[in-house]
Amino acid sequence: MLISGFDSVLSDLDGVVYAGPNAIPDAVESLNALAEVNVAHAFITNNAGRSPMSVAAHLRQLGVKTSAEQVFGSADAGAEMLARELNPGSRVLVVGSPYLRECIAVRGLEVVESHKDEPVAVIQGFDPEVSWNDLAEASYAIQNGAKWVATNTDLTIPRAEGIAPGNGSLVHAVKLATGATPRVAGKPESYLFSRAADRLDSKRPLVLGDRLDTDILGGFHAGFSTAMVLTGVDTPATALGAPVEQRPNYLIATLADIYRPYPTIKVLGYGVQVGDAVARIDNGKIAVDGNESDLNAWRAACHAWWLAHPRQSTHESPEIEFTSRGLQMLRRKNGEKQ
């Protein structure tokens, strides 16, 4: 099974374990079963609105066996970043949740509410109550020379009702107003992943996430293997056209797939075979002998495209065509024995 090659799991939350208040199918059972195979686990979240205690309580309510010590969030990471750079008592304008304010205060920094208080830094994290006035205050302070740290830059966040604007959308508004660019404390930077792996004393972590530009890219930056779970934001089609640093090592439908053998990827003379699906590049397009609803067909398409484009630096949307012929017809076409 896939998980047998790893000694820990570093899992995202939104879109992987839950969407809004509700658990995603297979997630709770799969996480709890890690103990049976002696694999440690931790949660890596860009959500700066809730404390590790609150997140752990939510997870336990859903049935996940965990503790606050296993939750690594971007609010703490951002506060630590500023605390390392600023003198004790330095004024920091906080745009975000009460927990983000607490993270700043407990590290000996003074929380202020306005640019008129002359803050030396601004930290910005997601909170549903953030208003236009909060963004304006941040903009004024940054224009006056304050350092700027964003806990994360996720453009969207999965909710029970659908996909909603995330902290990155609010950060982008301030960026447009100021012309400045923040430093990012959470994903896709490597800090949270490395910190969690160190805490677990893990040498072979597997990063689980639903977003290419945060989870998968962050795992890549940390030098860890990554698996994209198809229960959240990104899809096989977006993974297909991803730049090199955002290409996952594995594509899985749900967390239950970590307990199944991952299909062998065979590079053959007539294409890349995964299961009964075969993909090949034909005049700059992807031709897939397989069904579009079969995840193996997408796995084959991804690896065929990635092999042909090993240095791709931007996201592309290659043209792809599926047939229902599958491997058996392709073998007959190539004169192979059944």
Sequence-ordered list of residues with C-beta below 8 angstroms from that of 287, at least 6 positions apart, any chain? 279, 280, 281, 320, 321, 323
Q: Which residues pair with 15 in a beta bridge?
A: none
CA atoms within 13 A on the CB side of 167: 27
**Active-site residue flag, 12:** yes
Place of tokens 């779970």: 229
Instruction: Rounding to the nearest 10 degrees, give the CA dihedral for residues 42, 47, 50, 52.
Output: 10
Rounded CA-CA distance 164/156 in Å is: 5
Q: Is 28 helix (H, G, I), strand (E, B) or coil?
A: helix
| Catalytic hit among 12, 210, 276, 294 | 12
What is the crossing angle of helices 74-85 and 98-105, to 10°? 30
Distance of CA 250 to the CA centre of its chain: 14
Rounded CA-CA distance 137/193 in Å is: 32
Place of tokens 């990012």: 184
Rounded CA-CA distance 153/317 in Å is: 23
Sequence-ordered list of residues with C-beta below 8 angstroms from that of 3, at least 6 positions apart, any chain? 9, 34, 37, 39, 206, 258, 259
- Give residue 328's identity as a one-letter amino acid code: Q
| Catalytic hit among 14, 134, 154, 234 | 14
Catalytic residue list: 12, 14
